[in-house]
Each structure stands twice: as structure tokens, then as C-alpha cells.
Amino acid sequence: MNSNIAASIRTQRLASLIPMLSKMIPEHAILSEPEQLKAYECDAFTTMRQMPLLTVLPDTIEQVQHVMRCCHALDIPVVARGAGTGLTAGAMPVENGVLLGMSKFNKIHAIDLHNRTAWIDPGVRNQAVSDAVAPYNLYFAPDPSSQLACSVGGNVAENAGGVHCLKYGLTVHNILELEIVSIEGERMTLGGPALDAAGYDLMAIMTGSEGLLGIVVGIRVKLLAKPASARVLLAAFSTIEDAGNAIAKIIGAGIIPAGLEMIDQTGIQAIEALMHAGYPVHAAAVIICELDGSVEEVEDELSSVIAILNSLNASDIQVSTNETESKRIWAARKAAFPALASLAPDNYVMDGTIPRRALAEVWTKINRLSDEYQLLVVNVFHAGDGNMHPSILFDSSDENQYQRANELATRILELCIQVGGTISGEHGIGLEKINQMCLQFSDAEINQFHALKHAFDEKRLLNPGKQIPTLARCAEFNAMHIHRGEMPFPHLERF
């Protein structure tokens, strides 16, 4: 937007909004100084930034309702923010819009041991839930690698997963009830403490809606009993094909590991340099497989898995014998992203998901693309559910590298779509992947998404411009894309 116009809108909005907000929101919870706002200009996708008009930090649901009513009345956009660990610029403010920080909603209100649920605030950290219920031998299953920092409200908004979602599901499978505040400021309860609710499955639509449909102000999470036994196994392979086959064979044998991960050679070496976890640095790939359940069950499955691994020439098989050893193997895996930071200033983490059968093929093609674009791509990912996290390493201060990284990212996502996969498995679309939505969905499908959004937010004030592209944007993106001759599969049906 023209900066003069933007500045005048800003002045007008501040003049009308602040007095209205102040009727219910204390002064200290309304941040307007640039140095205060700086902390809110981006999420963990730091290459996109935007200062908000204001940041409001409410601490009661009534205050959230008030903020929404004010913004609705004045036609001012609202972007919710949990902990800001999102990887797709979902919580990045919009120009001259309000940033609604949910961090003060940080209480666990009730733990219901009989029904094994807890009613919590949206700003509660993911790990804090499992910590609070650990004394009862319970835990909250979704475990994104960011679990020490990310909020459960953010998990709901992104339908976050983690290393254990192959067996225990994503956020959508582990929540029962949501309280939300609509853009009109109305409170609504979706789902309930029973296993299902009357009417449409609005929990499903709300989960993963990236703050575009309503503000989550309360969550009933499901709690699971901790397994009696969990063993973690690490195995090395000299070819990617063998590693990929091992994944398919384990699943094909009727075993659902609690976690099934794969790391390529560059990833292994970077992790080993940082963590000294005993990862075999000369392997082309390692897989990490966690088996959990009753002691007997785990022993049974362990011997089946080892037999499969041996049949595929695995080497350096390590099996944890206690929790400390398990933790050591996992801690190294979860440190993958910091480890990659030593290799390049910037790391563009992709999130495409593909059918498992295509793992080796896609991996090989990614390596070819990596050569073509002269950028290192490292694969550390959730292989069991086909969720690839290729990391493109680059230096954003070099404009040419930045361009190449973005183009390469699009090529990789196209590859995922081509083999029957999707552009995002768990990180969401936000602004980062909004163009690639045009590759995955037809115009009619995108229109249907907009119609659904309209049912919740007629004025398009909630996190506008994110997740669902406009058709105009798609037309422009597709034209440019084809124009540059980048469309590698022109015959490909867009689905």
C-alpha cells in the first residue's frame, strides 16, 4: 500500500480504536510503542515481517470479546498469536491490524481424571500440559519439536503434529471441545466433553483454521495413559532406497511404531557435530524407530523390526535399554534444526507430505533439484507418516540465493503434489505457502474455502490474506510461474 495512505489509515484507526478498547482493556495491556511492537512483527518464519497497528494482551475472555467487538465495529483486522513459533508467517501481523496476543491465557483450569481430560487456556505451553498431568501417569499426545515453547492454542490453529502422531494422531485427534470467540465477539462452544457432539463437526473445521475463523479461548484436551515400555532403535543404511524400504516394510508388517523418523547424511553429520549422540556419520541415512506399549508387546515388535532391518542390510543398530538412552537418541533428533544452523545462515524448512511408497523417488529427485539450484537440501523428517521436512540451506542476505531458495521450495512442493501428496503436513499455510495453494486446489475449491470462511467472518477481518489465496493471486502466480517456464509438469491436473 502507498505509504502515505497507510500512515493516514494508521492515524485514523489509532484515534478511534484506542479510546474504545480502553473502556475494558487496561492501559498496560495495549502496546503501541514501536519498540514494544517489534517483538510481534514476525513468527519463527523470520524472513517475513510486518509491524502491527497495536498489540493487545487480554487476560479474560470478556476482554477478548471486547477487542473483537471493537475491531468488528471499526473494520480493523485481527491476527491472533500464541507463542509465535509458527513456521509459515501465520501469526505475522497484517498492516494496520491488531495483533491479539494470547500469552496471558496460561492456566490449566481443571484436570478430570475420571474422563481423562483437562480444560486449559489457549496460551498454555504444550509441554506444560504433559508436565501437569505426569503425576497421574497421563500425557497430552501431540508433541511438536517446539513443544517447550509453542502454545496449545497455536497447536489447535495449526493442527500440529509431532514425532508421535503416527500412532497417537494429530491435534485434531486429541481435543474434545473448544470455546471460541467469533469476530462479532460472540462466545461459542464447539464439541463437548462427550466423544461426539450434535450437529456438524465444527471441531474439525476449527482445528487447523490458522486463526481465520475465530479465536480459541478454551480447550478440552484428551489425556492418554503413558505406555509401560518404550524402546528407541537407531539403524544406519548405506542407501536411501534401503532406508525407504525399511519404513514401508515395518508398516507393512502390521507394526505402528510410536515414532518413525529418517535423517539423511548431511543431517546426521550436522546433528552429530552438535550433539555427539553416537549417530553413524558415514551412513547415507539413519532411521529412528520408537516402539511402545506393554513390555511384552514392545519385545515382540522389537524382534520383528530388527529382523526387517537385518534383511535390508542395516548396520550399527542401536536399541535403547532405558529412558536415558531413549532420550539421548530423541534429543539429538529434536535438535536437528539448531544443528543445521551451523551449516548456513538460513534454513527454509518445508513440510510437504507424500505417500510413503514415493519416499525414495522424491528424495532422489530432491537431490537432483538441489544440484540444479546449487543449494544444499537436508532431509530430517517424519518418515512413518510421509511428512518430509526438506530444509533448504541458504543465505538470505544474498538476494540471488534467496530467490533460488524460494523457487526450489516451490519445485519441491510441486513434486509432493505430483506423487499424490500435499504441500503441508503440519506447519500450515500462513503466508509462506499461500501461492502453492494455487497448485494444489482448483478455483472452485478455493472458492468453496472462501465461502466457508464467509460463514464465520463475513467482513474478512480474521487473519486476512493468510491460508487461502484469492483467485486473483492464483491467476497472477500461475501466469508468472508458467511464464518463467518453471512448471515442470504442464500436463499435470491441478488437484
Partner 1 sequence: MADSINATPESLAEQVKNAHYNQSPLQIMGSGSKSFYGRNITAIPLSVAAYSGVINYEPSELVITARAGTPLREIENLLDEQGQMLGFEPPSFTDTATLGGTIACGISGPRRPYAGAARDFVLGVTIINGKGEILKFGGQVIKNVAGYDVSRLMTGAQGSLGILLDISLKVIPKPAYEATRVLPYSHQQMNTLLSDIGRKPVPVSATLLHNNSLYIRLSGAKAGVQAAASAIGGDTLQNADPFWQQLKEQQQPFFNQQRPLWRVSLPPAAAVIPGDLVEEESFIEWGGAQRWVYSHNGKKLQEWAIKNGGHASCFRDAKRDPSLSHSADETVFSPLSPALFALSKRIKDSFDPAHILNPNRLYTGL
Ligand X SMILES: Cc1cc2nc3c(=O)[nH]c(=O)nc-3n(C[C@H](O)[C@H](O)[C@H](O)COP(=O)(O)OP(=O)(O)OC[C@H]3O[C@@H](n4cnc5c(N)ncnc54)[C@H](O)[C@@H]3O)c2cc1C
Q: Count CB-CB contacts under 10 A for residue 37.
A: 17
Asked if 88 and 427 count as a contact pair (C-beta separation under 8 A), the reply is yes
Query: Which is nearer to partner 1, 116 or 459 (by Cβ)?
Result: 116
Cβ–Cβ under 8 Å, residues 103 and 83: yes
Alpha-carbon separation of residue 97 from 30, 55, 258 (angstroms): 13, 9, 42
Q: What's the closest the beta carbon of residue 376 comes to ligand X, in angstroms? A: 19
Query: 124-161 burial, b if ≥16 CB within 10 A, otherwise e?
Result: bbbbbbbebbeeeebbbbbbbbbbebbbbbbbbbbbbb
Angle between helices 399-418 and 359-373 (to 10 degrees): 160
Nearest-5° Cα angle at 310, 305 to 312: 100
Q: How far is the CB of 144 from partner 1 (least distance, A)?
A: 12
CB of 314 to partner 1, least distance (A): 18
Contact set for ligand X, span 215-254 (CB under 6 A): 215-216
- Phi, psi values for residue 345, rounded to 5°: -65, -35
Verify binding: residue 130, ligand X, rule CB under 6 A: no
Contact string 408-427 vs ligand X (x = CB under 6 A):
------------------xx
Q: Are 250 and 260 in contact (CB under 8 A)?
A: yes
Q: Which does 153 bind (CB under 5 to 8 A by kind): ligand X, partner 1, none?
A: ligand X
Instruction: Indicate the helix (H) or strand (E) that contains 132.
Output: helix 126-133
Residue number of the CB atom closest to ligand X: 154
Please compute, for residue 416, the number of CA atoms within 13 A of its CA located in the half-sphere on the CB side. Answer: 25
User: What is the DSSP secondary structure assignment for residue 140, as one 8-state letter?
Assistant: -
Among ligand X, partner 1, none, residue 331 binds (CB under 5-8 Å by kind): none
Task: Say which entry of ligand X, partner 1, none residue 495 contacts (CB below 5 to 8 A, set by partner kind).
Answer: partner 1
| Longest CA–CA separation in the chain, Å | 71
Interface pick for ligand X out of 145, 174, 245, 265 (rule CB under 6 A):
145
> Closest CB to ligand X among 103 and 239?
103
Q: Out of ligand X, partner 1, none, which partner does residue 68 contact, by CB within 5 to 8 A per kind?
A: none
* Partner that binds at residue 84, options ligand X, partner 1, none, CB closer than 5 to 8 Å by kind: ligand X
Q: Which of residues 37-96 bind ligand X (CB under 6 A)?
A: 43-44, 79-87, 90-91
- Least distance to ligand X from the beta carbon of 33, Å? 21
Smallest distance from ligand X to CB 88, Å: 8
**CB of 170: closest distance to ligand X in angstroms?**
8
Q: Interface with ligand X by CB under 6 A: which residues?
A: 43-44, 79-87, 90-91, 102, 122, 144-146, 150-151, 153-155, 157-158, 160-162, 210-211, 215-216, 337, 426-427, 463
